[in-house]
Structure formats: C-alpha cells, structure tokens
Amino acid sequence: MAHLSIQSAGYMSKNEAELRRIFLEQVNFIPAGERIKRCIQCGTCTGSCPVSYAMDISPRQLIALFRAGEMETIMKSRTIWICASCYACTTRCPSGIKITDIIYALKRTAMEKNYLSQAKHVQILANLFVSNLMKYGRLHEGTLIRNYYLKVGFWKLFKLIPLAKKLYQTKRLSLFPKRINAYHSLSKIIKKAQEIDLRITAPPLEYSTDYVGYRALGEMKLEQRKGE
Amino acid sequence: MKYAYYPGCSLEKTQRGYDESVREIFKTLEQELIEIEDWNCCGATIYMSVKETVSLAVSARNLALAEKMGLDIIAPCSSCFTILAKTNRILSQIPEMHKNVNEALAESGLSYSGKTRVRHPLDILVNDIGIESIIHKAKRSLNGLKVAPYYGCQIVRPEKGFDDRENPILMDKLFSKCGADIVYYPMKVRCCGGMLMTTFEETALKLNKELLECAEKHQADVIVTTCPLCHMNLEGYQDKINEIYNTNFKIPILYFTQLLGIVLGLSESKLGLDSAFIPVTPKLKSIMEVQYV
C-alpha cells in the first residue's frame, strides 16, 4: 500500500492539523478504530444508510474528505448530526470500519471546537440531555423535550399537545422529574470523569498530522488482516 | 434464575407497558428480576456520542452495581442494552479506559472488574428459558394472528450478538410456535430514526411511514417491537404520518413481551395494554377474550 502514498499531497493548514489531531485522538479510543485506514471507498455504508438521502455529504465521502485533508468541510456538514446510530453501515462495511463510532468521534471533535453546524439544534438537544442527566441521574423525557423546544422554537410545543394528551390519558406522562437517591455519589463520579477527560493524553499516534492523503494514515499493515 | 433488572428511563413512565409486561412474564416463567437499586440513566446514544470518559463512567456505574449483586443485567430497552454492552466492550478492549473509569467510580466507593454480562429479555426467553418451556406454560394460542416482528437496530447491531444482524429470527421463531402467522417483513431491522423524530422530524416520519407501509402491505394485524423509541415513533406518530402522507394506518403496536404475555394468559391490565394508543384489531381482541381453564 505504501507505493500508493501521495508524495506531493502538500502540507495542511494549522486548523486542519488541529482538527485531525483531536479527531485521531478520539479514534484511538474506539476499539478497532484504526481500521479507518482500510476504506476502499466502495460506498456500502452510503448504500446501507437509511438517512443518506438526507445528508449533504455521504458516509463514504466523509472518509474521502478526511483523507483529503478537508476536516473543516466535515465539521460544517449536516451529515454527522443526522446519523441516527442504527449501525447498518458498521455491520456491512467489508473493511470492518466502525463507521458509526467514527461519526461519534467527528461529533465530539465538532463539539470540542465549537463548530456551529447547520444542525446546531442537535447540539442543543445533546447538551440538554447531558444537563438533565447531571441534574437528576435519570432522564426525564418531559423536561428534556420541553426545554428543547423552548430553545429551538416554543411554538412547536403546541404541535405536541395531542401526543401529550394521549400520554396523559394512558397514564404515561410524568410531570415532574425525580432525582435518584444516589445522586451525590453519581455526581462525584461524573466530576472525576470530567477531570480525567481533561488530562487524557492520547498515546503517540502512528498517524502523521503533517500530511494529507494516504501518507497521513501511515503504511497499512496488510499482515494484520490475516486471521480476522 | 435471578437477574439484575435495569428498566431504563423510558420504561419508568412513558413506556410503562414494556416494564409491566417484562416483570409479569418473568414472574409467570418463574424467573426473578431484582431491580438495581438507584440505577442511573445509561446515557443513551446521545450521551455516548458527545462525551467519552464521562459517558462510559456513567453507564459503568450500573454495571458495577450489578457486579456487586453478582448477577447479569437484563436490559429491555434497546438503547440501554447496546450502550451497556458497548461500555463493556470498550472497557475490556482498552485497558487505559478501564483504569480511568475505575478511577472515576472509586469516588463513590465502586469498582468494576468487567464481569457483568448484559442480556436482552428476548435472548433470555428464547435461548435460556427456551421456546418449549414457554409453550408448556401457554394458555392461549395466537391462532393465525398476522404478526410483523420489528427488531429495530440496536439489539442486533453493531456487534454479532444473540441473533443475526441482517435477518434476526428469534421473535419469528417464538411467535410462530405460539400459533402466529409471521408475515414477510423485510423491514425488520430498518431504522425508525430514533431521536431524529425530535431533531429531523421530516426524515423520521418518512422512515416510519415506510415501516408501517410494509406491514400494511403484508396485512399484519400487529407490529411487535423490542425498543421504546421504535415503539414511540411507530405508535405516537402514526396519526401525524396519516395526516402528512394522506394514509390511513391503524396498526396496533405491541411490545413482544405484551404479545407473549397474552399467550401466557395474563390479563390486559397486567401487561399494560391499557396504555396503548391504537386499539387492537378484532382478531387479537378475540384471542384475548379466550378464557382458559
């Protein structure tokens, strides 16, 4: 594979290098994350994705853009936020690439670098979900949905009235959130984990952040594929 | 057998039918479910996708509590099931992460060695208890009821689990033995969109319309589900789909545990069937009315 290296691929911008560094750090924590190197651009992921028709960049193109040193285009895309985590792509990828997890890593990179994409409402929902969990220890769906619509457009709440009414009639609507008893011990865990997240230094990468193209991904170790 | 029961947030109230029916059928089958005391939210897909150590530590707390009980976890919600299993996988494959998570857990005097197995009720029912023993306790036959088994995404994927990833068959096997007529349902593992119903509604409505359309085309009397989110989307948004696509779907959505509960002779109220939005078809109604001795 080494002979395929694009020697004249050129250097990348500082921003691109930073985005790649954060992203590849995340990839390191995905079991079998390094298989991203093996993409053969067959498009099975795109063909298996039930929502690819609504994406601006297809899942296959995500990997192509990453290779090409276009992380910023990915960060601004709607694609990473519309993924519903159905894992159809991951199941079918002939190279065993953990595409859904790769998309998670891209989401985290975008959140960390504060990219306000076209789909910032997804980020709003994610942040509200996290704060709901921190506050009560369990998710209270009513609070989450109410707070979400208060942020993205409260008039949409009115559209939910028929559904809320049905839930109420069938005794499925809980009006108030309740904290778990062990709330304090849970928040201690969360606080510590946040500290750890900040101090984590990823092990040295075998990827280069200086180059784009195949060369940035290092040489593919073909022998590793045997016996999988 | 004893299991550590992890209901998950949506089963507490909005999907109480799932919770009630799981508890009832396990009781009927003489299996003990002990709810994990003070369990917390597993973090679900959303949390898992935005934070790393924090989300793993949050879900590992539940695994640690179950480990202390010395029992395997049973998690009916697909999202909880997949997240807890994924946490297990990451912790076992990346020792550094395991160490970090244990460091966080130690703050509240917990530790997790990685022993808790995460199981889904469908797996336990078919593979542990066995269809034969279930049939032995059956009180009613489904009598040719046309069932569309919908597995959704997260109990069969991403890793190879207790059923096939492209064509799972455990529910098909279970209910055909109970007398049901399993309809051809090629959309059985197609995504319902999950949380997209909140964030990209148009897309999610289209996905659910296709799922309903396929069931109707094959004349299903009922769609059985395994996931609270699929259930909510298919059931709660059926009206909206009819409105937007000018369709006339009226397909009852039941949890597989509710349908199995009917077979086991349990009453409507015990199975939380009173919480359904869409009334059951006359055929299912007549099955439910069969009195047994």
Interface of A with B in 102-141 (CB under 8 A): 103-104, 107-108, 111, 119, 121-122, 125-126, 129-130, 133, 137-141
Q: How far apart are CA B63 and CA B59, in angstroms?
A: 7
Interface of B with A in 24-63 (CB under 8 A): 38-41, 43-54, 56-58, 61
Chain B residues within 8 A of A174 when measuring between CB atoms? 12-14
Map tokens 């506050």 to a residue.
Answer: A135
Specify the domain boundaries for CATH 1.20.1050.140 within chain B: 2-119
Across the interface, whether the CB atoms of B52 and A197 are under 8 A apart is answered yes
Map tokens 């069938």 to a residue.
Answer: A170
Closest CA to A168 of B44, B16, B250, B7: B16
Burial class of residue A50, CB neighbours in 10 A (0-12, 13-18, 19+): buried
Chain B residues within 8 A of A172 when measuring between CB atoms? 13-16, 275
Which chain B residue's Cα is nearest to A157?
B198
Q: Is A160 on the interface with B (CB under 8 A)?
A: no
CATH domain B131-289 topology: Rossmann fold (3.40.50)
Q: Is A84 on the interface with B (CB under 8 A)?
A: yes
Torsion of the alpha carbons at A139, A141, A142 and A143, rounded to the nearest 10: 40
Choose the closest CB to A122 out of B48, B193, B199. Answer: B199
pLDDT digits (tens, 9 = 90+) for B175-201: 999 999 999 999 999 999 999 999 999
Please, what are the domains in chain A? Answer: 7-118+206-215 (1.10.1060), 125-198 (no CATH)
Across the interface, whether the CB atoms of A200 and B100 are under 8 A apart is answered yes
Specify the domain boundaries for CATH 3.40.50.11810 within chain B: 131-289
CATH domain B2-119 topology: Glutathione S-transferase Yfyf (Class Pi); Chain A, domain 2 (1.20.1050)
Q: Quick one: average pLDDT of B74-89?
A: 94
Q: Quick one: average pLDDT of B145-160?
A: 93
Q: Quick one: average pLDDT of B249-256?
A: 96
pLDDT, position A3: 39
pLDDT, position A204: 52
| Residue B270, pLDDT above cutoff 60 | yes
| pLDDT tens, chain A, 228 aa long | 333 334 345 567 888 888 988 898 888 888 888 899 889 999 999 999 999 999 999 999 999 999 888 999 999 999 999 999 999 999 999 999 999 999 999 988 988 888 876 778 888 888 888 888 888 999 998 899 999 999 988 888 888 899 999 999 999 988 888 899 999 999 999 999 988 888 776 555 555 555 566 555 554 444 444 444
Closest CA to A186 of B185, B110, B27, B126: B110
